[in-house]
């Protein structure tokens, strides 16, 4: 239930990912082909521990844990709620994607078609997103409701203190001259598209794994392909930018097309000289 002010909108949550598309391997006993089960081992008592003898603990110091019972853990968990309580509306462009963690489609629940469409349309027209709180699965979540196509999407967000500062990332000191900047601009323009369209891109590794699995199921032996030798790296930034734009080629990496044309020009030159001599 989305709530803001005195307005309540019944909604349904839908996952955005397709779990069937992922490829997962299980741990199997190689001798008999049975999937193995995990067991818990206590190194202090040198014995296996059954699940009913386990409890959860928090390590407050190295090797020291404070233990919690199931009843105590229930006290720590927030009360589950079906409410998505909007706190404020913010400019959509101000929300950095670094805060995004998981997304869910939101559809209208029973009797919620009109208020759902109203909220979706007004957020599209105002380019606003809604910050809200949502309690589920024993946790309090900060979420963002944003317009998506003709409806809404709920984006689970990280809290601000969950994100490391970029100041911790060393980026070094480098001076960029205007010529390098202009070539980089040209390269970006040359490789730009008018819109974002992810459909041509596929997980090629996953496709290859599925193909190999199907071959393995058919009884075929899988042999690793020989590794390619590493390609020479272009160190000169200007030469790399020019080569990317097709203005020149990096030293030592002359393309085969030009190498083939030179003997042809040499042969033509020889024929012209032979004709001149005969005259």
For residues 83 and 211, give the distance between their C-alpha atoms in angstroms, rounded to a whole number: 44
Rounded Cα distance between 49 and 33, Å, is 25
> CA 136 to CA 1: how far, in whole Å?
13
Q: H helices within the chain, ranges in order?
A: 70-76, 113-126, 178-190, 204-217, 237-245, 256-278
pTM for the predicted model, two decimal places: 0.64
Q: Do 235 and 176 touch, CB atoms closer than 8 A?
A: no
Q: Is the Cβ–Cβ distance between 35 and 28 less than 8 Å?
A: yes
Ordered by where they begin, the domains of the chain are 2-17+78-161 (2.40.290.10)
In sequence order, the 6+-apart residues with CB closer than 8 A to the CB of 1 are: 8, 9, 10, 11, 82, 83, 84, 109
Q: Would you write out the chain's pLDDT as a tens digit for each of its 279 residues?
A: 998 888 889 999 998 887 666 788 889 988 898 999 888 999 999 999 998 899 999 898 998 999 888 888 877 776 767 789 999 999 999 999 999 999 999 999 999 999 999 999 999 999 999 999 988 877 889 999 999 988 999 999 999 999 999 999 898 888 888 998 998 898 888 888 888 888 887 878 888 888 888 887 888 777 777 777 766 665 677 788 788 887 654 444 444 444 444 444 444 444 444 444 444
């Amino acid at each position: 239930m989305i709530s803001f002010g005195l307005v309540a909108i019944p909604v349904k949550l839908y996952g955005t990912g397709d779990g069937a598309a992922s490829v997962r391997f299980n741990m199997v006993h190689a001798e008999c082909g049975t999937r193995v089960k995990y067991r818990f081992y206590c190194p202090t008592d040198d014995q296996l521990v059954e699940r009913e003898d386990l409890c959860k603990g928090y390590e407050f110091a190295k090797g020291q844990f404070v233990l919690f019972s199931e009843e105590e853990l229930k006290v720590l968990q927030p009360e589950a709620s079906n409410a998505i309580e909007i706190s404020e509306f913010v400019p959509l462009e101000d929300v950095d994607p670094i805060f995004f963690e998981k997304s869910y489609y939101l559809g209208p629940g029973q009797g919620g078609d009109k208020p759902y469409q109203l909220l979706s349309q007004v957020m599209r027209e105002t380019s606003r997103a809604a910050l809200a709180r949502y309690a589920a699965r024993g946790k309090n979540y900060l979420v963002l409701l944003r317009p998506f196509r003709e409806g809404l999407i709920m984006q689970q967000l990280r809290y601000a203190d969950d994100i490391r500062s970029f100041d911790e990332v060393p980026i070094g000191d480098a001076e960029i001259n205007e010529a390098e900047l202009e070539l980089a601009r040209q390269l970006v323009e040359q490789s730009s598209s008018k819109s974002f369209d992810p459909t041509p891109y596929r997980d090629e590794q996953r496709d290859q794994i599925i193909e190999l699995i199907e071959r393995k199921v058919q009884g075929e032996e899988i042999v690793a392909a020989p590794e390619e030798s590493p390609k020479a790296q272009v160190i000169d930034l200007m030469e790399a930018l020019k080569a990317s734009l097709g203005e020149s080629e990096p030293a030592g990496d002359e393309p085969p097309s030009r190498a083939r044309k030179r003997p042809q020009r040499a042969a033509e030159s020889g024929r012209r000289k032979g004709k001149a001599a005969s005259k």
